[in-house]
């Protein structure tokens, strides 16, 4: 029984990471109707930046904030330099850019920081076991931080005029323009935010899975499964889907398929959702009357 609870708790912890990355994927998808395959690699780069800053002696949370801010700038630049020119190009062009970006960042990471697996510090420590040893301090802290990030993102999109303008720019760019919304700027902001959310997720997961250039590749798959499960065009769905996939992955890994085949769970979820309910649990066709 304790084992099961432990598996669920650590599933929630990794689910928090998947939820963040899934949210980043959905944000880009809503604006561009494409999945940013490079989302994971961008987060890995951010984690390397954070680690480098920590190693030169900058306090952990300052390094965290700097890395997230830099990732925001990087995201804005990716949209400005790489995505804007292909905005009206056919789907395959965008997919090509995403994959190119993935390979470039991955290679750069290895070239600059090396391919050896690196340990990454956790800011969360505790002198005595938490909840009877059920969760580690890092799992608890990381889940808490992710929930704070997700809540902030939700508040931003739901209650601020800028968040509303960004949603409108994604749903219906021409109507947004007619309300005076500078749509291109909103797309750039969206990319920046997605990169920043991904960066936070990367830095939070690095102490668990250790840092190497391919750190996020598996996580991106889980996140993608989560986003699909919740509905690829639904932000709340992505978050719920991410947590669900985290728990499922852990339970199946522990009791059914074994840890070596955990990643298969993600692929099975992806295939199952696409076959049975392509819109996902929360995604639904927009009702419209004319």
Q: Give the binding site for other proteins (CB under 8 A).
A: 161, 164-165, 167-168, 171-172, 174-183, 286-290
Q: Which is nearer to other proteins, 2 or 287 (CB)?
A: 287
Rounded to a whole number of angstroms, the minimum distance from the CB of residue 279 to other proteins is 14
Q: Which is nearer to other proteins, 57 or 180 (CB)?
A: 180
Q: Which two tokens stand for residue 195?
A: 């990169």
Rounded to a whole number of angstroms, the minimum distance from the CB of residue 206 to other proteins is 36
Q: Which is nearer to other proteins, 34 or 177 (CB)?
A: 177
Q: Which two tokens stand for residue 214?
A: 């391919």
Q: Which two tokens stand for residue 285?
A: 């066709």
Q: Which two tokens stand for residue 37?
A: 């395959």
For residue 191, the number of C-alpha atoms closer than 13 Å in the C-beta half-sphere is: 24
Rounded to a whole number of angstroms, the minimum distance from the CB of residue 255 to other proteins is 40
Q: Which is nearer to other proteins, 29 or 243 (CB)?
A: 29
Rounded to a whole number of angstroms, the minimum distance from the CB of residue 186 to other proteins is 10
Q: Which is nearer to other proteins, 164 or 257 (CB)?
A: 164
Q: In degrees to the nearest 10, what's the CA dihedral of 199, 202, 204, 206?
A: -140
Q: Which is nearer to other proteins, 1 or 286 (CB)?
A: 286
Rounded to a whole number of angstroms, the minimum distance from the CB of residue 87 to other proteins is 14
Measured distance CA(259)–CA(219) in Å, rounded: 15
Q: Which is nearer to other proteins, 163 or 242 (CB)?
A: 163
Q: Which two tokens stand for residue 186?
A: 């909103």
Rounded to a whole number of angstroms, the minimum distance from the CB of residue 160 to other proteins is 10
Rounded to a whole number of angstroms, the minimum distance from the CB of residue 168 to other proteins is 5
């Amino acid at each position: 029984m304790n084992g099961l609870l432990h598996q669920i708790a650590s599933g929630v912890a990794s689910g928090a990471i998947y939820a963040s990355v899934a949210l980043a994927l959905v944000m880009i998808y809503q604006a561009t109707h494409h999945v940013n395959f490079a989302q994971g690699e961008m987060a890995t780069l951010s984690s390397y930046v954070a680690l480098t800053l920590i190693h030169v002696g900058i306090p952990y949370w300052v390094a965290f904030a700097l890395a997230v801010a830099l990732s925001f700038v990087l995201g804005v630049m990716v949209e400005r330099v790489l995505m804007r020119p292909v905005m009206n190009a056919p789907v395959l062009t965008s997919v090509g850019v995403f994959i190119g970006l993935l390979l470039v960042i991955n290679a750069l990471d290895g070239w600059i920081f090396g391919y050896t697996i690196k340990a990454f510090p956790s800011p969360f420590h505790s002198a005595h076991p938490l909840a009877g040893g059920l969760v580690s301090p890092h799992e608890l802290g990381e889940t808490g931080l992710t929930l704070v990030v997700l809540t902030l993102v939700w508040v931003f999109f739901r209650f601020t005029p800028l968040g509303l303008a960004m949603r409108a720019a994604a749903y219906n760019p021409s109507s947004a323009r007619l309300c005076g919304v500078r749509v291109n700027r909103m797309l750039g902001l969206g990319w920046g935010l997605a990169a920043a959310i991904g960066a936070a997720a990367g830095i939070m997961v690095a102490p668990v899975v250790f840092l190497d250039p391919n750190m996020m590749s598996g996580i991106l798959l889980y996140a993608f499964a989560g986003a699909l499960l919740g509905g690829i065009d639904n932000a709340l769905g992505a978050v719920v889907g991410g947590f669900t996939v985290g728990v499922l992955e852990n339970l199946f890994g522990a009791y059914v398929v074994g840890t070596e085949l955990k990643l298969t769970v993600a692929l099975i979820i992806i295939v199952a959702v696409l076959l049975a309910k392509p819109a996902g649990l929360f995604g639904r066709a927009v009702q419209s009357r004319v």
